Amino acid sequence: MSPVFKLLAQRIALSLLLLLLISMVIFAGTMILPGDVAQSILGQSATPEALANLRAELGVNDPPVQRYFAWLFGAIQGDLGTALTSGQDISEALASRFWNTLFLAFWAAVVAVPLAIFLGLLAVRFKDRWPDKLISGVTLASISIPEFLIGYVLMYLVAVQLRWFPSVAMINDNMSLFEKLNAIALPIAVLTLVVLAHMMRMTRAAILNVMQSAYIETAELKGLNAFQVIYRHAFPNAVAPIVNVVMLNLAYLVVGVVVIEVVFVYPGMGQYLVDHVSKRDVPVVQACGLIFAAVYIGLNMIADVVAILSNPRLRHPK
Amino acid sequence: MNRHMQYLASQAVAGKLSRRDFLGKAAALGFTAVSANLLLSTAAKAAGPQKGGTIRLGLQGGSTTDSLDPALVTNTVGLMVTRLWGETLVELADDGGIEGKLAESHEASADAKTWTFKLRPGVTYSNGQNVTAEDVVKTMERHSGEDTKSGALGIMRGIKDVRADGDSVVFELDSPNADLPYLLADYHLIIQPNGGNDDPAAAIGTGPYIMKSSDMGVRFVAEKNPNYWGDLGNADTVEIIVINDDTARVAALQSGQVDVIDRVPPRTAKLVDRAPNITVHSTSAAGHYVFIMHCNTAPFDNNDVRMALKYGINRQEMVDKILNGYGTVGNDTPINASYPMYTELEQRQFDPDKAMHHLKKAGHDGSILLRTSDNSFPGAPDASALFQQSLGSAGIQLDVKREPNDGYWSEVWNNKPFCTSYWGGRPTQDQMFTTAYLSTADWNDTRFNNEQFDQMLVAARGELDVAKRTQMYADMSTILRDEGGLICPMFNDFVEATTDNVDGWVEGIPGQVLMNGYAASKLWVKA
């Protein structure tokens, strides 16, 4: 078996094991939430009879281990159960939400990733000169401000004052792609600002690291101009760490946008999760947790796979 | 001069003069922007509602876990959506009385134990079916049945029997209740075909609109019901967007994405009102923010401790700082002027000396623990801190424990002996007292057990003489004020806002939020 294949198989098996462990943690975690689903659904208007009726109907009295395995086997087959609060099929309800979240994450990534890498390259090219300092300064400032605040500021300037884009990023199936992009322009902008600094600085650092190498000196002595050196010789060797940080940020774009979705009223997973957490709708919380974990682990696994494949020493075993 | 202004206003309403020009002319003639706007909206109302267009509401309080089943409605969005497609037998009128909806008329027997509601003839559901008395009976049964989850279960309890009698529905009660029509105006009790037993969330009703799409906690779209029997519903389309974030909701209004919002945060309401195209509406209501003590748990089982705390709170300061003036001072009773049979009691004032006096008399020493969280009412932790300070100036130590928002209603409220909370109020005294202050009440969150109070409440319920009844309610309020476990420093107004894009707002409608939930069908979009 080639070492590349063996490494990849190991890495994938590890991811699956991790996912299994996380499913246990998620299940155990939701067990110890304070409060009770029936009380939360009915809120202040709960009468004792209504509470008892709802509890019996929800069947929240079985032993936990039995419920864990039932849940796990269901999840493996794509059946995430039904929401306690609405009786909806979770897989069905989550599908459109998840798609919406991916839609937002995808377009944010389309803007943010090339921009970050380009800015990173630019910063290296003009290292320690004003473009480098400007790029670093602006991106560091934007990552230091809480994302909801960036959201509010953009909302005030761009939506309320200038009226360029809507402040409510409501999308629905009847909208054309252009209308949808118009609706999500502001959240895309906020997400871009939030993830830009991390990716841009990692790109810059990784390339600078490679630039110390002897072969870069050779390339420079060969007479290549600075951009060619960076683009053709430094960048390919810095791919692994860059992909790593890009994947980390993509994962963030999918699982970390809860606040942005709430602020911009975007109908994604985040909003769905928040509503169900506050109602103690455990199956939905578990389903969301599992999906988020899968996305996170999956993207990290891809980053590792890319790192392994981009390592020539593994590709050409002795 | 005034006549000239009125002429200009009517020109502006008719679209012959732009609004900006009108305001400019008004300013030149020495009118303030407020009075000019008022004139404009009076002229617009005189011109009558305009039909057509789309009205968009951005509302707080919807969740993905909601249902269209009227029995399960718990929040503003649910109320607004239900009001679009469904109707109750009777409804609160703008003056606080009762007006017929699906019931054309109603009458009580002399002992107020038997009530007959006569149905409006020829009303059909949105699916074309006729409304029958049998549907009404089934609806009432669904909300009062053994296994119901209906939010109206509590108020259905006194009803012994409901039966159809031709085109009338007859309610037989366990004991006299002069307020039955108020109970039946409850927004849960939407009349549905076969009582909603087949598919309670199908949104088939007799309302002025028909639901076109419903994405829970996200967005609702409704179109005008062409066969609606009444004259409700001005806009062709109503769109309700759920915006739970305060800042986002205000921004959506300012950027013109919605025409109406609810729950403008009192802290920023004055700033929002200053925007040129926005009007903030503040409606006094029965809702109140409270500190509740369990009357059966030490140290609150001693009335002197309760009195000490009641004298140690600065009510005006609460209204000024927590509500930013958007509210009125409370008097430790849940009843205020918004109730039909209200009697003004002597207002209790902040009095540190009396507070200390009562605490000494009680022989209590050491501190008192208050639990609070932000979702008990907006600004509750701040209000608790103010309470702590005012009590401190009376020499009483209050410890404030901040609890998580999550699980507050199940872990703290109605559970721990002293905490912050809120009440939405009810349309009648009887309902408010029965819900929370009767010894056997489901939500007796102050553990108030007072035989005399209970007897008076039952007696008042069957009393048809309004003067006597008013006196009984005043006496009950006095008992609560002087012995109850409720500290009610303030009644919160409903603070809502509209853009100049819409008109027809009526100030001061009692009951629920947003013109008793009818903002979407009673407002109109300006051409």
What's residue A179's pLDDT?
92
How many whole angstroms separate alpha carbon B402 and alpha carbon B419? 10
A-chain CB neighbours of B406 within 8 Å are 33-35, 277-278
Residue A41 and residue B65: Cβ atoms within 8 Å?
A: yes
Does position B369 have pLDDT exceeding 70, yes or no?
A: yes
Q: Residues B285-294: pLDDT tens digits?
A: 888 999 999 9
Chain B residues inside the 8 Å CB shell of A155: 247-248, 251, 255
Residue in chain A nearest B256 by alpha carbon: A160
The tens digit of pLDDT for each residue in A208-223 reads: 888 888 888 888 888 8
Q: How far apart are CA B196 and CA B188, in angstroms?
A: 12
Q: What is the pLDDT of residue B527?
A: 73
> What integer is the mean pLDDT of B71-75?
86
- Which pLDDT belongs to residue B338? 84
Lowest mean pLDDT among A34-38, B402-406, B482-486: A34-38
**CA angle in degrees (0–180, nearest 5) for B43-B45-B47:** 70
**Each residue's pLDDT tens digit, B18-39:** 666 766 776 666 666 666 666 6
Which residues are CB-contacts of A48 (< 8 A; sequence separation ≥ 6)? B442
Beta-carbon separation of B241 and A34 below 8 A: no
Contacts of B303 (CB under 8 A, 6+ apart): B483
Report, in angstroms and rounded to the nearest whole number, the Rg of chain B calculated over CA atoms: 24
Q: Do B251 and A160 touch (CB under 8 A)?
A: yes
Give the tens place of pLDDT for each residue, A251-280: 888 887 888 888 898 988 888 888 888 777
Mean pLDDT, residues B65-72 taken together: 89
Helical (H) or strand (E) element with A211: helix A185-211
Per-residue pLDDT band for B421 (boundaries 50, 70, 90) equals very high
Q: Is A223 exposed, middle or buried (0-12, 13-18, 19+ CB in 10 A)?
A: exposed
Distance from the B86 Cα atom to the nearest Cα atom in chain A, whole angstroms: 20
**Residue A308: per-residue pLDDT:** 83
Question: Is B217 within 8 Å of A156 when comparing Cβ atoms?
Answer: no
Crossing angle between the packed helical segments B451-461 and B466-483, to the nearest 10 degrees: 160
Model confidence at B14: pLDDT above 70: no
- The verdict on A157 touching B (C-beta cutoff 8 Å) is no
How large is the average pLDDT for residues A19-30?
88
What's the mean pLDDT in B470-482? 95
- Residue burial B469-481, b: 16+ Cβ < 10 Å; e: rest: bbebbbebbebbb
- Parallel/antiparallel/unpaired status of strands B54-59 and B260-261: parallel
User: Can you read off the two tokens belonging to residue B398?
Assistant: 């209050």
Q: B363-368: long-range contacts at Cβ-Cβ below 8 A with a sequence spacing of 24 or more?
A: B364/B299, B364/B302, B364/B304, B364/B305, B364/B308, B366/B397, B367/B397, B367/B398, B367/B399, B368/B299, B368/B305, B368/B309, B368/B396, B368/B397, B368/B398, B368/B399, B368/B418
Residue B17 is predicted with a pLDDT of 66
Q: What is the pLDDT at residue A40?
A: 66
- Which chain A residues are Cβ-neighbours of B213 within 8 angstroms? 172
| B contact set with A (CB within 8 A) | 58, 63-67, 74, 146-151, 153-154, 213, 215-219, 241-245, 247-248, 251-252, 254-258, 404-407, 409-411, 413, 442-443
Q: How many other CB atoms are there within 10 angstroms of residue B227's CB atom? A: 12
| Dihedral (CA of B402, B405, B411, B417) sign | positive
Place A61 in a pLDDT band, splitting at 50, 70 and 90: low
From CA B177, how far away is CA B114, in angstroms rounded?
9
Q: What local confidence, expressed as pLDDT, does residue B438 receive? A: 92
- Dihedral sign of CA atoms B187, B191, B197, B198 in order: negative
Query: Which residues share a beta bridge with B165?
Result: B168
Rounded Cα gap, residues B458 and B173, in angstroms: 13
A317 pLDDT band, cuts 50/70/90, is: low
Residue B382 neighbours by CB distance under 10 Å:
14
| Cβ-defined contact of A152 to B247 (cutoff 8 Å) | yes
Instruction: Say yes or no to pLDDT of B207 above 60.
Output: yes
DSSP characters over B244-310: -SHHHHHHHHHTTS-SEES---HHHHHHHHHSTTEEEEEE--S-EEEEEE-TTSTTTTSHHHHHHHH
Residues in chain B: 527
Per-residue pLDDT reduced to its tens digit, B126-159? 999 999 999 999 999 999 887 777 877 777 878 8
Please state, rounded to an integer, the average pLDDT across all residues of chain B.
88
d(CA B212, CA B299): 55
Q: Give the DSSP letter string of A218-284.
A: HHHHTT--HHHIIIIIIHHHTHHHHHHHHHHHHHHHHHS-HHHHHHTT--SHHHHHHHHHHTT-HHH
pLDDT surpasses 60 at B1: no
Q: Which of B213, B251, B442 is facing A47, going by the closest CB pair?
A: B442
pLDDT of residue A232: 83
- So what's the pLDDT on residue A45? 60
**Residues of chain A positioned with their CB less than 8 A from the CB of B243:** 168, 265
Model confidence band, residue A58 (pLDDT cutoffs 50, 70, 90): low
Alpha helices in A32-89 (DSSP H): 37-42, 48-58, 64-76
Interface of A with B in 286-315 (CB under 8 A): none
| Whole-number pLDDT of residue B424 | 83
Partner-chain contact B153 A168, CB within 8 Å? no
Q: How many CA atoms does the CB half-sphere of B8 hold within 13 Å?
A: 22
Of all residues in chain B, the one with the smallest CA distance to A48 is B442
For residue A271, the chain B residues in CB contact (below 8 A) are 64, 217-218
Say which residue the tokens 């199956």 belong to: A283
Q: Can you tell me the distance from the alpha carbon of B152 to that of B180, in angstroms, rounded to the nearest whole number?
A: 13
A50 and B148 in contact by Cβ < 8 A? yes
Select from A44, A86, A170 the Cβ nearest to the Cβ of B65: A86
In this complex, is the C-beta atom of A83 within 8 Å of any C-beta atom belonging to chain B? yes
What gap in Å lies between CA A27 and CA B495, rounded to an integer?
42
Is A170 within 8 Å of chain B by CB?
yes
Cβ pairs bridging A and B (under 8 Å): 124
Mean pLDDT of A286-312: 87
Task: For B298, list phi and psi in degrees, rounded to 5.
Answer: -65, 145
> Cβ contacts (< 8 Å) between A267 and chain B: which residues?
215, 218-219
Residues of B with Cβ-Cβ distance to A49 under 8 angstroms = 146, 148, 153
Q: What is the mean pLDDT of residues A22-47?
A: 73
Residue A260's closest CA among A196, A197, A184, A200?
A184
* Nearest chain A CA: its distance from B409 CA (Å): 7
User: Which of A43, A47, A85 is opposite residue B153, by nearest beta carbon?
Assistant: A47
Cβ contact B365:B395 at 8 Å:
no
Cα B49 to its chain centre, rounded Å, is: 25
Q: Give A25 to chain B, closest Cα distance, Å.
A: 20
| Structure-token match 């959201």, residue found | A151
Which tops the pLDDT comparison, A233 or B453?
A: B453
Q: Which residues on neighbouring strands pair with residue B219, listed in sequence order?
A: B215, B241
Answer whether B149 sits within 8 Å of A42, measured CB to CB: yes
Tokens at B115, concatenated: 């009530």
pLDDT at B473: 95
Distance CA B49, CA B45 (A): 7
Identify which of B148, B252, B410 has the shortest CB distance to residue A167.
Answer: B252
With pLDDT > 70 as the criterion, what percentage of chain B qualifies? 91
pLDDT: which is higher, B433 or A312: B433
- Angle among Cα B447, B450, B455 to the nearest 5 degrees reads 130
In this prediction, residue B36 carries a pLDDT of 67
d(CA B522, CA B518): 6
**Nearest-by-Cβ selection for A53 from B147, B213, B248:** B147
Of B244, B255, B405, the CB nearest to A163: B255
3-state secondary structure at position B117: strand
pLDDT for the residue numbered A43: 62
Q: How far is A44 from chain B (nearest CA, A)?
A: 7
State how far the Cα of B186 lies from the Cα of B205, in Å rounded to an integer.
16
pLDDT band at A57; cut points 50, 70, 90: low
pTM beyond cutoff 0.80: yes
Test A35 with B443 for CB contact under 8 angstroms: no
The average pLDDT across B76-97 equals 90
Task: State whether residue A100 sits within 8 Å of chain B by CB.
Answer: no
Residue of chain A nearest B404, judged by CA positions? A34
The secondary structure of chain B in percent helix, strand, coil, rounded to multiples of 5, reads 35, 20, 45
Structure confidence at residue B65 (pLDDT): 82
B248 CB neighbours in chain A (<8 A) are 155, 167-168, 262-265
Match 């990849």 to its residue by tokens: A8
> What is the tens place of the pLDDT at every residue in B219-270?
999 999 999 999 899 999 999 999 988 899 999 999 999 999 999 988 889 9
DSSP secondary structure string, B443-494? T-TT----HHHHHHHHHHHT---HHHHHHHHHHHHHHHHHH-SEEEEEEEPE
φ, ψ dihedrals at B146, nearest 5°: -55, -45
- For residue B371, give the H/E element and its range: strand B368-372
By DSSP bridging, strand B398-402 and strand B368-372 are parallel
Say if the Cβ atoms of A155 and B247 lie within 8 Å: yes
Does the beta-carbon distance from A86 to B67 stay under 8 Å?
A: yes
Chain A CA closest to residue B248: A263
Coil, helix or strand at residue A89: strand
Average pLDDT of the residues in B357-385: 91
**How many angstroms away from the CA of A154 is the closest CA of chain B?**
11
Please name the amino acid found at residue A167: S
Q: What is the pLDDT of residue B40?
A: 66
Q: Which residue of A has its CA nearest to B253?
A: A160
Query: Using CA atoms, how far apart are residues B265 and A38, in angstroms rounded to an integer?
Result: 30
Give the pLDDT of residue A21: 94
Which positions in chain B touch A278 (Cβ < 8 Å)? Answer: 63, 405-406
CA distance B183 to chain A (A): 15
Q: Look at residue B187 and give its three-state secondary structure.
A: coil
Structure tokens at A249: 């940020």
